[in-house]
Amino acid sequence: MVNPNMMGRFRGILDPVSSLFQSLSLAFIAWTFPSMLRIEMLFGVVGGAMLLLGMLYLFTIPSFVQTKEEKYEVPS
Name, in order, each residue with C-beta under 8 angstroms of 2's C-beta and a sequence gap of 6 or more: 10
Q: Whole-model pTM? A: 0.47
Give the CA distances from residue 47 to residues 8, 37, 65, 66, in Å, rounded to whole numbers and listed in that order.
30, 15, 27, 29
pLDDT tens figures, 10-47: 667 778 888 888 898 889 888 888 888 788 888 888 88
pLDDT tens figures, 15-24: 888 888 889 8
pLDDT tens figures, 48-58: 888 998 898 88
pLDDT at 71: 63
Domain residue ranges in the chain: 1-37, 38-76
29: how many CB neighbours lie within 10 A of its CB?
Answer: 13
